[in-house]
Amino acid sequence: MKKIIDYLKEAKHAVALTGAGVSTLSGIKDFRGPDGIYKMKDVDYNRMFDIETFYEDPSIYYRKAKDFIYGLDAKEPSIVHNTLAKLEKAGLLKAIITQNIDLLHQKAGSATVIEVHGSARIHYCLHCPGIRVPYEEVVPIVRRDEMPKCPKCGRVLKPAITFFGESLPAEAINEAIRQAQEADLMLVLGTSLTVYPAAGLPDYTLRNGGKIIIVNNQPTPLDRSAELKLEDLGASFAELEKELWPKGFC
């Protein structure tokens, strides 16, 4: 932990790249872990997040997402989310690039969050420009087993999550690449670095002479390139908190 703190304090532009592993500590299943949602036999999440399926029958997404996505308001940020927010507030972290769609970084207080896979923060109409409905308004509708509708045309709204078959949000990807290129230190947290293009972001940092630190409970393709590789995310950040703010964070 002292090494990580030294790296953070020496860095002029540190960023974090986070994956589903940081939210498992909040009780949200990851995707590819031993108990991940892709291992569940009763739910086909590939179909749930398939854009062609959504066009044909959006109820498949909303029915399956009722607890997974629209129960997120009951989840609380983990020690990782909270510590990253404190690091940003203390000036030790410039931005968080996240593959997650759960909004927990914002809930923890992080200001600069780049969502490369989108999020459910906004729902929009695929046919009417300018229609934007916030997550908070959609949650009670979905929890009643209904679907949010466009106030103009009455069609079902889509969450601003990037589904399979859709392009990633260009603005977010471009900003993530810019941050990765400028970073002299990247914390890679809770991601197996297997889903591109997000998985390629640490390479931008490495190619520009920056360092990466990986904390993940599974191997990643960049383990050998990391300055440090740790496995226990929760324990690591608990130690980091104690080392950085032994008397609490103000």
Quote the pLDDT of residue 32: 54
User: Where is pLDDT greater, at 156 or 168?
Assistant: 156
22 and 33 co-located in one domain:
no
125 and 231 co-located in one domain:
no
pLDDT > 60? residue 38: no
CB 105 within 8 A of CB 83: no
d(CA 96, CA 236) in angstroms, rounded, equals: 18
Active site residue 123: no
Each residue's pLDDT tens digit, 131-167: 999 999 999 999 999 999 999 999 999 999 999 999 8
pTM: 0.88
Closest to 30 (Cα-Cα) out of 45, 17, 51, 49: 45
Quote the pLDDT of residue 203: 97
206 and 127 co-located in one domain:
no
221 pLDDT band, cuts 50/70/90, is: very high
147 and 111 co-located in one domain:
no
Domain boundary among 134, 161, 188: 161
Q: Supply the CATH number for residue 21's domain.
A: 3.40.50.1220
pLDDT > 60? residue 230: yes
Quote the pLDDT of residue 30: 60
What domain range is 36 assigned to?
29-74+119-161
Q: Supply the CATH number for residue 126's domain.
A: 3.30.1600.10
Closest to 30 (Cα-Cα) out of 68, 62, 77: 68
pLDDT > 80? residue 112: yes
58 and 14 co-located in one domain:
no
How many structural domains does the chain have? 2
Give DSSP secondary structure letters for 184-215: SEEEEES--S-STTGGGHHHHHHHTT-EEEEE
182 and 61 co-located in one domain:
no
Quote the pLDDT of residue 209: 96
Quote the pLDDT of residue 41: 57
Burial 183-205 (b: 16+ CB within 10 A, else e): bbbbbbbbbbbebeebbebbebb
DSSP code, position 119: E
171 pLDDT band, cuts 50/70/90, is: very high
pLDDT > 60? residue 71: yes
- Catalytic residue (choose from 105, 117, 123, 127): 117
